[in-house]
Structure formats: structure tokens, C-alpha cells
Chains A and B, each alone.
Chain A
Amino acid sequence: MAIDFRKDVEHVAKLARLELTKTEKETMAGQLSDILDTARRIQELDTEGIEPTSHVIDFPATMREDEVGASLPLNRVLQNAPKRDNDFFRVPRIAKSGNDGQ
């Protein structure tokens, strides 16, 4: 397979906010190519009329009742925060880049 996946790796890395070196990109492009090769081989199977599988366990999701339980104490909540501003997590400005979903 001679498809070059370096562009795809760069795109996905950007979306995941990852910085990769040139060597890393090449390694990952090769790995991605292998993975997609395998996927291509699986796609050769005849799956006509078979529901796509999203989960392998075949029973309904469990439910809990709508009852309030204990939350974490504030110092535990903020324990892993790289930066904090009083009781808030402090994050870099998001300005024009990025994405606010919904």
C-alpha cells in the first residue's frame, strides 16, 4: 500500500492538540497504514443484512435512581489541576482557535 498517511497523522494530531516530531509522524503514518490495511481486509467480508456491532455485551444498560450522593471535597477536585485560581481551574485563554461544541 503506497498511500501516504502523514497528512492524516498531522490532522489528527492537531485535533488532539499533540505535537509530533518528524520521525514520530513517519512512524505513525506507517502504523496507521498497517491498521487501515487490516481494516480493509475485514471490510472484504460479506456483512449484508447484519446489524453493525457497537457493543459486544448483549444486555440493556443498567440504571440508577435519581438520588444525590456525595461529591468530592474541593481539595480533591482541584488536586490535579495544573493551575488554579481560588476555587476554579485556571486554563489558558481559548480565543479564536478551538471549538466550543454544541
Chain B
Amino acid sequence: MEYEVVIGLEIHLELQTQSKLFCSCSTSFGKEPNTNCCPVCLGLPGSLPVFNRKAIELAVTAALALNSSVQLNSRFDRKNYHYPDLPKAYQVSQYEKPIALGGCLELEIDDQVKKVNLERVHLEEEAGKLIHSGDSIIGSDYSKVDYNRAGIPLLEIVTKPDLCSGHEARLFLEELRMLLLYSGASDCKMEEGSLRCDANISLRPMGSKQLGTKAEVKNMNSFKAVEMALNYEAERQRQILISGGSVIQQTCHWDEEEKVTVPLRSKEGSSDYRYFPEPDLLPLLLEEKEVNIIKSVLPESPMDRRLRFQKEYGLAKSEASLFTSNRPLGEYFEIVALKYKDYSNLARWIQGDYLYQLREAGKSESALEPDKLVELLNLLDNGDINRPVAKELLAEMVRSGESPSRLVNEKGLKQISGHDMLLPLVEKVINENPDAVNNYLGGKEKALKFLIGQVMALSGGRADPGEVKKMLISKIAE
């Protein structure tokens, strides 16, 4: 029997605030352990939480970016469970009335637009960080806890089971990450744990409407790990089903070393969390006006930008994608494009030589003043310099920030062009290389290349190779 894979994702995202969700402790990463803690985020008796306005705004921003319907009246609940990373023995989260419902994200998969629907978006507090003394969660003797992270605003995004492979899950996460980066809600740094993803995965007979028994996969620490873990788990379940067995509902950890999923514990029912309304926090009431203000300043989405770059500048899809995924480079392109109208030529230079030279020099995307790039391209277009010289100049400009016309004058790089200037060089080369001329006349194209090279060398690289080629051909034919 043929099976299809059904995947839903739960994404956790730390919002980009300065202070925590319910107290004014700093959220900055990498501080000495337990130094960003106060009575509120340590859960000391008698302390009371107060909402961080910015966290709410960023949650709304992210929800709007995800086309999720922002709820003007939402509520916080206590999710009760015992785990040492949770100082209060409950997590303040949203259960019954989340801040946003529904939503979707469109992404391109193999040239097809796929719409992935969302279940909900809700706000909660981050837990502390556990450091296991042994090599793994199961083998450790004891654990150490750092509560610096506890209480950082965390957004949970839950998708519908709309994804059908590890590859799709990865593409979805990449698009989601870019969208949320663009929105400014989070820095989405997976390596610092500010973006994390768990997955629910099950198989069902192709065409069936009913969902199969699922496994929850955790501990996937990169997009690549998500893809590998889900492909592995799908195959594991397929083997069980093919051999007539049945999948049991469980939570697995992705073992990055062994590249396998390892069952962790049987999943407790959600009623065991004994959710109830958080008595210390009043309901979160938003005004439509506030939500509309946030909506009005929402930045363009990556998908919109990709389409606009293709439409407005006539760029190829790959170029538009590059200028979207490398946002500062795209912004640089747009600034230069205000003054230089051959957009496809500009795109080629920026994604080619310019980007290369930036990397070589270790500089940021906007390192070169836009006017200087315009000046360089104009010099080239007007025939004042040739292409190899332009490339060389660009490297120098990125390094030193020098203006191209000054460099041209200083180094005497102006192009040698026109019949009168080139003719003496062409004639000299023909006279000094009779063998090559004969070889060319005998049909050897390579010989012509050699002759062009000789003329270029004589010109100090300042001639236009195209023009040299034409002159050589006509001169030899005389």
C-alpha cells in the first residue's frame, strides 16, 4: 500500500524585546548564569507579573504577518507541570483564548505555490535552561539550571497538518523565518535557541481522510535536522505499517550524532496540564485602532518582495530570490536602481562582482556609496573603460571607497578605443606573429584568441577585446 506523510509543526520564537514578558529583567543572550533574574521570573511568592507592551505589539506584528486573525480579547492561563526549568511549576501561556487564530503562509515548492494553514498563534513565557551533567538527558546524574531565559516572551505558532515531507517542512521553516525576520518580531537565531521547532508526524494510506497515529519529534536544532529527522521518522513508521504493525503515539528525540529518532516517554494527555485562567493577569484587551496601526506599518513580506522585484525591475526569479534572502543587498540594489536604469545589468554586477568583492574584503552590503557604483557602470557603458578594468576598479573601490573616475585618471586606465588608437597595436601584433596569423588562416580559432591576448597585453588591458577581435579579423583579411 502507498502511504502519505502528514506533518504539522509547532514553532517557538523568542520575541525581540529588551526586557522579559512580565518583569524588567534583561533578555540579552549569553550573560553569566542566573544574573538576569528577579522575584517575578524566579516565581518567588508574592511577586506579580506585569505585561511588557512591546512583547504584545511584536506578537500582534507576527500574527498579522502570518495572516492570523488577531483577537481583541485574549487571556492567559496557567499550564501546570513540574520540570526544573520552570520555577513556578507552571508556565503562563494562552490556552482557551489565544492572541490570534488561523492564518496561513504561502511558499514556493518546486515552482508551485503551496499554502500552509495555521491553527493558532499564542504568547507564553520562555522556560529556563537546563544543562545536563552527563552526555544526554537520560544519562545525567543531575542537572544545572540557569533561569536567565525564564520569562522571555515566547510566541508559539501551530500549523495545521498541511506539510507532507521533511523537505516541505524545511522550506516552510525557511520561509517562516524570513517572514518573521522581515517583520522584526524576532531575530530567529536557531543557534541561540530563539527559533525552535517540534513536529507531529504520521502516515496514512494515500487518499485517506483520517489521520494516522502520530509521533512528536523534538530536539531538532537546525532546518537540516528537521528535514532529516522527519524523513527518518516517516520511513520508520512506513516500515512498521508495511510489516503489518501499528505506530504507537510517542515523543521522540532526534539524535544528531546517530541520525535516528529515539522514543523519550509516552505522551501525557493535555488535561494533565490542568489549565486554568491566570488569576494574576487580567485579560489582554486590545483596541482595533492599535492593531490597525501595527498593520499599517507592517513591512513588505518576502513573497511580495520577490514578486515586486521581478515585476518592477524585470529581474529573473533567482535574482529576486537572492535580493530577498539577502535583504541588505536587495536594499542596496534598490537604492542604486534609483539612479541607474539598466536593472538587469545592475543586478548582474551586484550579485556577481560586487557581492564577491564584499566577501573578499569582509565588508557589509552597503559598503560602497551607491553613487560610486553608478559612476563606474556609466564609465563602462560609455566606453571609457573596458569590462576587465571595471572589475578591477570595483575591487579597489570596495577596498578603499575611492571614486572610479579618480582611479581611472590616477592609474591611466582609460580605455584605448577607436581605429586610430588601436590600429598601431593590431598591426604590430600581426607583424610580429606570422605563425599565429597563418594558423588562424588555416582555421585555428585558438590562434585568434592568442592574437587578441597579445593586443590586450600591449594596451595594458585597456582595449576593448570585442573591438580588438573585429579589427584583427578585418586586418588579417586585407
Residues on A facing B (Cβ under 8 Å)? 15-17, 54-55, 57, 59-72, 74, 77-78, 80, 85, 87-102
Contact = CB atoms under 8 A, between A and B. Distances in A.
A68 B37 contact: no
Contact of B37 (A65, A69, A72): A72
B425 interface: no
B265 A96 contact: yes
Interface of B: 10, 12, 17-19, 23-26, 32-39, 42, 44, 50-56, 75, 79-86, 91, 124, 127, 130-131, 134, 137-138, 140-147, 156, 198, 264-265, 268, 272, 274, 277, 279, 281-285
Contacts of B265: 96-97, 99
B406 to A, nearest CB: 47
15 contacts: A55-B283, A64-B50, A66-B17, A69-B25, A72-B39, A72-B42, A77-B147, A89-B144, A91-B130, A92-B84, A96-B138, A99-B268, A101-B91, A101-B127, A102-B12
B33 A87 contact: yes
Nearest to A102: B12
Nearest to B58: A66
Given A93-B143, A95-B138, A55 B282 contact: yes
Given A87-B34, A94-B137, A71 B145 contact: no
Contact of A88 (B25, B38, B131): B131
A71 B50 contact: no
Contact of A61 (B36, B44, B285): B285
A62 B284 CA distance: 9
B79 A63 contact: no
Contacts of B33: 87-88
Nearest to A80: B44
A95 to B, nearest CB: 6
Contact of A94 (B143, B147, B285): B143
Given A70-B38, A94-B130, 7 more contacts: A15-B81, A15-B274, A57-B282, A59-B282, A74-B32, A89-B147, A90-B144
Nearest to B132: A93
Contacts, number: 153
Contacts of A91: 84, 130, 142-145
A59 B282 CA distance: 8
B254 to A, nearest CB: 14
Given A61-B281, A99-B81, A66 B54 contact: yes
Nearest to A15: B272
B54 A65 contact: yes
Contact of A99 (B53, B83, B146): B83
B147 A101 contact: no
A57 B285 CA distance: 13
Contacts of A15: 80-82, 272, 274
B185 to A, nearest CB: 13
Given A59-B282, A88-B33, A96-B264, A54 B86 contact: no
Contact of B284 (A61, A65, A77): A61
B12 A64 contact: no
Contacts of B53: 63-66
A64 B51 CA distance: 6
B54 A54 contact: no
A89 B142 CA distance: 10
Contacts of B18: 66-68
Given A54-B277, A67-B18, A69-B19, A61 B282 contact: yes
A58 to B, nearest CB: 9
Contacts of A99: 81-83, 265, 268, 272
B87 to A, nearest CB: 9
Contact of B26 (A71, A72, A95): A71
